[in-house]
Amino acid sequence: QVQLVQSGAEVKKPGASVKVSCKASGYTFTGYYMHWVRQAPGQGLEWMGWINPNSGGTNYAQKFQGRVTMTRDTSISTAYMELSRLRSDDTAVYYCARGAGSSSWYLCDYWGQGTLVTVSS
């Protein structure tokens, strides 16, 4: 069965960086995009971007351009999302979500459990 297991909660100071991992299992990692979506406390969902694990190609939301980097390690079926120059309003739960494959690369059909990132001085 498809599983996405994310790394644990993080507490960071403003200006620091955070790197969240997402380990995939139960499917061919390189065959599906991986999306990153975040949710601030009590707020809605915000799409951050995706990575194509096969090519390493990425597409980032304009809002995060220059601050976000999505990478992958195909040898361990793991995707990463690094966000730099953290601010207090980056406090959120960060989710990885699998793209649904060639039928719809942009549809998120399986989600990780989420990683809480708290930015506080």
Q: Which stretch binds another protein (CB under 8 A): 16-24, 40-48, 69-77, 80-88?
A: 40-48
Q: In whole angstroms, what is the distance from residue 79 CA to residue 99 CA?
A: 13
**Residues 43-62 interacting with another protein (rule: CB under 8 A):** 44-47, 59, 61-62
- Name 28's Cβ contacts closer than 8 Å, sequence gap at least 6: none
Q: Which of 28, 30, 88, 113 binds another protein (CB under 8 A)?
A: 113
Q: What share of the chain is helix, strand, coil (3-state, %, to 5)?
A: 10, 50, 40
Name residue, tokens 């309003």.
89
Q: Which of 17, 19, 31, 106 binds another protein (CB under 8 A)?
A: 106
Q: In whole angstroms, what is the distance from residue 68 CA to residue 82 CA?
A: 6
- Tell the smallest beta-carbon distance from residue 46 to another protein (Å): 7
Name residue, tokens 């990575």.
51
Does position 111 interact with another protein (CB under 8 A)? The reply is yes
Q: What residues make contact with another protein under the rule CB under 8 A?
A: 35, 37, 44-47, 59, 61-63, 95, 97, 100, 104, 106-109, 111-114
